[in-house]
Amino acid sequence: MAGEWLRTRLTEADLAFVVEAGAPHRPDPERVARMLRENPDFVDPLLEKDEVFQFVMGQRERLLKLSPFLLFYILLLRVRNDLRRHPHTPELVGHERLLLFDGAAVARLLSDERTRVYLAEMLASFARSRQFLVYRLEADGKVRPRVYSDTRVEDLIELLGAVPQASRYPIYRRLGDLCLLLTGLFPESTPEETRTQLTAVGTESYRRAARTARAEETGYRPILEGLADQFDLARKPLHLLRHQYLAGVFGPLN
């Protein structure tokens, strides 16, 4: 069902915001919010309206009314629609920025609702970092604690070796997400050789996550397979989102 993945992730506050921004003159906002909850395929057309985008970008205080997920979802819709009109994206090659005419392919990737939802959830998840405490048996026979962060590539790679195969699915996913984030949002902050390595690690992590039973059970397998197959395309909307929209909301991101 169209809109089902989006429906299950929208809070009541998100729906109230959608109605306030997309249908401000309706005298029955609660009824409209219920209608959107029951008919989620109507949500995207509202979120795509220029009035909603301007409402989001107009005042930072308004962002307190919506979840990070909804903010990123709205901006990803905007990226998709902009690329349909202007089908080129910037690409950093060495220290030179080139324009590639792959915008239509990126727009097609973002036209899949589940992929948009996944990317919005992924971006929102990095609003907070998590740490994991694992007790490991060292070579000297002593058990020592080790703290791992889910925002460090090296930690996640090491953590994969510290947990059984059956528990690796969320780590594979997070590692793929982190590599996508670093190569998409912050390509200027890493040397080209490092970006190439991150792309390889991210692609393989998504592919391994897709092969797990958990991916099949939760419905994420086709999404993760798509991100593995189109990793270079998937990082493009993140780059555009940062430079064209997030800077306008939050100022320059370093």
pLDDT in tens, the chain (254 residues): 457 889 889 999 999 999 998 888 888 999 999 999 999 889 999 999 998 998 888 767 777 778 999 999 999 999 999 999 988 888 877 777 788 889 999 999 999 999 999 999 999 999 888 998 888 878 888 888 989 999 999 999 999 998 899 999 999 999 999 999 999 998 888 888 999 999 999 999 999 999 999 999 999 999 999 999 999 999 999 999 988 888 655 555 55
Rounded to 5 degrees, what angle do the CA atoms 117, 182, 48 make?
30
Instruction: Map residue 99 onto helix, strand or coil.
Output: strand
Contact partners, residue 196, CB within 8 Å, separation at least 6 = none
Token couple for 70: 């909804």
Contacts of 218 (CB under 8 A, 6+ apart): none
In angstroms, rounded to a whole number, what is the distance separating the alpha carbons of residues 170 and 159? 11
* Residue-wise burial string across 182-201, b where 16 or more C-beta atoms lie within 10 A, e elsewhere: bbbbebeeeeeeebeebbeb
| Distance set, CA 107 to CA 4, 60, 102 (Å) | 20, 27, 9
